[in-house]
Structure 1
Amino acid sequence: MAKLRFPVVIGEAELILPESPTPVEFKYLSNLDDLVFFRHHIPFIHYYNSRHEGELCDPAAVIRRALSKALVYYYPLAGRLRHGQKGKLVVDCCAEGVVFREVEADVTLEQLKMVAGGFRPPSPYLSEFLVDDVEGCAFITDSPLLCMQVTRLKCGGFVLAYRVNHCICDAYGAFQFIKYLSELVREPNRSSPTQPPVWSRELLIPNSTPCPLFHHTEYHLDINSKHELCKHGTKNLTQTSIFFTGHDVFALKSKINKPKTTTFEVITALLWRTWARCLALDCETRLVFPIDTRRSHTPVLPVSYYGVALITPCTIIHAKQLVSQPLSFAVGLISEMKSKGGDHKEYRTSAIDFIEMNGRSRFCNKVAFAVSDLSKLRFDEVDMGWGQCLYGGFARAGVGDVPGLMVAPLVRYKREEDGLEGLLAIVSLPPQTVDMFQKEEVHRCGANSVNIICALIFYEHEV
């Protein structure tokens, strides 16, 4: 389907400063914040309907005011990353501000909904709705840590898009910030957040004598060092999304002879194997997935901690062995890896010590597939005073600046055509592979089907 074209009028970028004076200081980043893999920006997008007739309010004006208020509590976001000693980054809380931009677009929500997958990520119009979007590690230091854009649509609705520096927060932290911003939009006289944010990165300092307790294969460079990703490489990949209904998940679980298989395990196993098969990998491949450790590891982090609190345990297997085994085999590997990272309360501290000993640049950088489960973060329920958004969450997948690593976010999604709720995986594939997926979908599912799961199962060769 052809991409919809519409004119936009792009306003000048302005720097929004905290409403009142904030501390001038340098903030410590933990070894988890400062991984090379997290030296990039996370893009989010929200679509909102117009207000009821008679309720006139400019979304850009109210969000701009709320943003200035929010930066008083989240003042490190108004700072800049600087290079510290031994390649480590620090936050200079200099209150230089965040980027804010207003845009007018001659298009309606209904028009957007009817073409190119509607609001379904990857957003086909992200370059219009987030002019300042960047990928990789460009503009990481000495540049704004948050860029936000409000695009007014001719129907009265609007699009809110923003990107946040991943070194400052993970997806949970970004959700915490946008929730507070929405509180200030709805209640402009509010004096403080429901849960004031907590920096406290010092809770994750390494031991004075680092002593890793685990073999952290996720940070090793030697494995696969002689392999290229594949003949397709990692450049010029096309992003697509795969929708899983509850029925799809039930059908997948029925193929697994393992009690208590989780939705995440079975979807991740399917995506991992399909990715390896479609790229015709003939080398060792890794699977990594982030585990949030805020409440499960020692020390327990404050509820309002918004830094990176993720560990990324890793499993390694040759691609040919992975795709030749049944789906249940991959599920078993994932379940074992979850237990390794989640059940051992010292794993996070061990990872921090390992990075301290071996250098923060060491991260799995060869032939790796990562699935990030964001389905429990309710970005779609963020109410800016215009009601619940039509879609809210990740705008696209990302690979950071790590060669050979592809990341597939797993997000909540309600399908526009029938209102069916499910999970959406955003994946990056070579263009010719995407076409193959689509052709196989039509062939295996029938012309009237909108379910891609059959196309995926085709690659599993399991009936």
Structure 2
Amino acid sequence: MASASSNSVTVIARHPVVCANESSWTALDSPFRLGAFDQVAGFVPIQIVWVYEQLSSSIELIPIERLQRAMERLLDYYPQLSGRLQIDSGDGTLGNRSPRHCSPESRLQYLPGAGNALLAPFDPTLDAVYRDPVFIVQHTRFACGSVALGVRCHHSVCDADGFFQLVRDLAELYRGLGSSENILAHPPHIRPYMSELVSPQERQAALDFQTPLFHVNPLADRDSTAADTSASATASLSPPPPVEGRFLRFSSARLAALKSLATDPSGGDWISTFDALSAYIYQRVHQARLWLSTTDPSFGELSRTDFLTPINLRGRLGLPARYFPNAFFTSYTTIPSEMLITGPLWQVAKIVHDLTRTSFLTSKDGLNGTLKWIAAQPDMRNIGPGFRYGNGSFMVSQWNKFDMYAGTVFDIAPVLVSPPFTHISLVDGLAFFLQTEEIGKGGDAGAIDLSLALAQPLWAIMDRDGPLA
């Protein structure tokens, strides 16, 4: 628990959280084996802040004792979150080590600024990833009585869909405290899809499958290439500029106008709001990058213009309702630089549209073939994505499709739900589409907030060229 003034946060207590019922975690396999999706999800956590505004001085918002009891019940439904991550030393398989007692430590340091103070600190080193809790909630009470909940969960155990489900379940259990039976109306499905071990007979057939999403880098080659690339980059390039994050709101009217511009004038395929907004932002960003690279040699030559977005595959695979673990692949393509510079918006939007609907992402057999290929790898650490990150690439996640606000009522509804810009999310060219607080309030429910991180010099160019939103 922490208290906050306008510009600082002070730790006043640390509360270990234990499972309410010991049997909930003793029944788990140890290790709790994660699925094929989880093996390639990465270690970067999902972290969001919920802010609840104090409206009456006579009511204490979200008392810490009550929140702690709700978290204990939550761990009964998600007992794997009370463990720690571990990697098998032989094949690199990621799993969750069940605890001998359910009490994840809280190592909380609080720093003011840009919402980072509302999250527990994160150490991205591998030692820390295996040592620290998988799931952390920081409760911060402001001087006015308002409360922020900073929630973090490792991406290795769930994706954004599962993450928002987890917080909705926490809110439901919190509201149910005091009832005769504090239970979830609809329990989660926590067993990962395709987490079973691959038999020797199945392994070779699985390895013969050709997937366009991943490739294998032998460990020795990978380490050698990484070392050569790092040494070359250090010798030839200036330090990259700092990255700045901004939030920009697109009204529903602005989005409708962009969607119209992004529609093929000859009457081709329909275009979604995601297609139109992604194409528009990437065009604006690439044009600013090109101008900067030609006027400032220190920015360097632009990398390949790779575009990446994650695809939620629950529906395409027919996974159980309220499936919690990861169920996404990141799909990527190269959008020609010339098209981003001078092409009409509808051509870029069509590439984005087609990317998310390619046959290997819509065919259940193709998806299962890729998952079996992952599960059959002799060393998971050698799996690499085809996407090439650089100062010319762009990555976007469509979080506005998740219920970020609905269902997260503890004592009252949140006034803000947002991922703060942190040292791990300030990545040049990383964007999120977010719901706004207008949802359910009679305002502009179709508006979207854009969270966009860019190299700092790019913002001056973007501002010069006209408002982005």
Into which bin does the TM-score normalised by the smaller protein fall? Answer: 0.7 to 0.9
Distance 2:107 2:53 in 1: 20
2:339 is aligned with 1:339: no
1:187-226 mapped onto 2 (5 Å cutoff): 187-188=176-177, 189=179, 190-203=181-194, 205=196, 208=203, 209-210=205-206, 215-217=211-213, 219=215
Contact 1:145–1:165 (CA under 8 A) maintained in structure 2:
yes
**Cα RMSD (Å):** 3.6
Among 394, 404, 421, the alignment partner of 2:419 is 394
Note closer, same or farther for the CA distance 1:385–1:199 as it changes in structure 2 (3 Å cut).
closer
Distance 2:64 2:108 in 1: 7
Note closer, same or farther for the CA distance 1:266–1:128 as it changes in structure 2 (3 Å cut).
same
Bigger Cα displacement from structure 2, 181-190 vs 96-105: 96-105
1:412-451 mapped onto 2 (5 Å cutoff): 412-414=435-437, 420-421=444-445, 422-441=447-466
Among 328, 331, 354, the alignment partner of 1:310 is 328
Note closer, same or farther for the CA distance 1:289–1:231 as it changes in structure 2 (3 Å cut).
farther
Distance 1:99 1:423 in 2: 36
Q: What's 1:459 paired with?
A: none
Contact 1:135–1:398 (CA under 8 A) maintained in structure 2:
no
Aligned residue for 2:186, secondary structure, equals: coil
Distance 2:182 2:45 in 1: 29
Listed one character per residue, the Cα deviations across residues 139-195 of structure 1 (whole Å, up to 9, x for unaligned) are: 221221012111111222111111111101111111111111101111113432222
Note closer, same or farther for the CA distance 1:320–1:379 as it changes in structure 2 (3 Å cut).
same
Quote how far apart the aligned CAs of 1:200 are: 2.2
Note closer, same or farther for the CA distance 1:89–1:409 as it changes in structure 2 (3 Å cut).
same
Quote how far apart the aligned CAs of 1:72 are: 1.1
2:255 is aligned with 1:239: no
Aligned residue for 1:254, secondary structure, equals: helix
Unaligned runs of 5+ residues in structure 2 are 223-227, 291-300
Distance 2:428 2:35 in 1: 22
Among 249, 268, 271, the alignment partner of 1:261 is 271
Q: What's 1:26 paired with?
A: 31
Distance 2:216 2:259 in 1: 33
Quote how far apart the aligned CAs of 1:365 are: 4.1
Listed one character per residue, the Cα deviations across residues 358-412 of structure 1 (whole Å, up to 9, x for unaligned) are: 84540234334221111121222244433210112433478679xx885322111
2:438 is aligned with 1:411: no
Quote how far apart the aligned CAs of 1:99 are: 4.8
2:145 is aligned with 1:156: yes
2:137 is aligned with 1:179: no
Aligned residue for 2:120, secondary structure, equals: coil
Quote how far apart the aligned CAs of 1:215 are: 4.1
2:369 is aligned with 1:350: yes
Q: What's 1:16 paired with?
A: 17
Quote how far apart the aligned CAs of 1:220 are: 7.4
Distance 2:243 2:281 in 1: 16
Contact 1:76–1:93 (CA under 8 A) maintained in structure 2:
yes
Q: What's 1:293 paired with?
A: 313
Listed one character per residue, the Cα deviations across residues 221-279 of structure 1 (whole Å, up to 9, x for unaligned) are: 79xx9897997876731112232111111221222342521000011112222333333
Aligned residue for 1:312, secondary structure, equals: strand
Among 367, 370, 378, the alignment partner of 2:395 is 370
Using the size of structure 1 for normalisation, the TM-score is 0.79
2:256 is aligned with 1:250: yes
Note closer, same or farther for the CA distance 1:370–1:348 as it changes in structure 2 (3 Å cut).
farther
Equivalent AA in structure 2 for residue 374 of structure 1: W
**Bigger proportion of residues as helix:** 2
Quote how far apart the aligned CAs of 1:52 are: 3.6
Q: What's 2:337 paired with?
A: 319
Aligned residue for 1:181, secondary structure, equals: helix
Distance 2:313 2:124 in 1: 26
2:103 is aligned with 1:97: yes
Distance 2:343 2:110 in 1: 52
Contact 2:263–2:270 (CA under 8 A) maintained in structure 1:
no
Quote how far apart the aligned CAs of 1:54 are: 3.4
Contact 1:291–1:310 (CA under 8 A) maintained in structure 2:
yes
Distance 1:286 1:247 in 2: 29
Using the size of structure 2 for normalisation, the TM-score is 0.78
Distance 2:409 2:462 in 1: 37
2:137 is aligned with 1:145: no
Contact 1:397–1:409 (CA under 8 A) maintained in structure 2:
no
Unaligned runs of 5+ residues in structure 1 are 106-122, 446-451, 454-463
Distance 1:346 1:439 in 2: 49
Q: What's 2:284 paired with?
A: 274
